[in-house]
Amino acid sequence: MNINNMNMEFMNSQEKKEKVIMAVMIFVFDGEKNLLLLKRCDNGQWEPVKGGVKDGEDWHAAGLRELKEEAGFAPDSGLKFLKVVDDELITSKGKTKIKGHVSYCRVFGVKPTPTLTGDEEGKEHDDYRWINFNNIHKEELFPPLANELVKEISDIV
């Protein structure tokens, strides 16, 4: 291998550095065991409430903030911790490792309506729906880890 090929391999490995983010995922249920799903603007996929943890924020504060930002909700009984996860997503921007806290909460009322906030450029979600938990196995959630977590939650909900 010549020096130019070695330099190119080194540069390619540097460009593909893994990004690691701290995140939260919150499964929101109403009083009738319906799960809130939000539709992403960028890829059209359905997901639970989720987002990054800011510097100096703990998982609980980040979860409450994301609930408020993405859906306009405050849970009736607080957030219930489920588990810590390590996940990996491959996107067009490369590989991202995610270290996250997963929790769930309930909001009571007759299918509360989330407020999908943000302007057109900064908006993450453009639609929502409540799906009965008994039918959740028919859905394909984003990120793929959410599908596995739903199985774990089924005993709790």
pLDDT single digits (tens) 32-42: 888 999 999 88
52 in Cβ contact with 61 (< 8 Å): no
Nearest CA to 114 among 55, 73, 142? 73
Q: pLDDT of 88-113, one tens digit each?
A: 777 667 777 888 888 877 776 545 57
Within 3-157, residue ranges assigned H as helices are 3-15, 59-71, 145-153
Domains of the chain (ranges; CATH) run: 18-153 (3.90.79.10)
Q: What is the pLDDT of residue 14?
A: 43
pTM of the full structure: 0.77
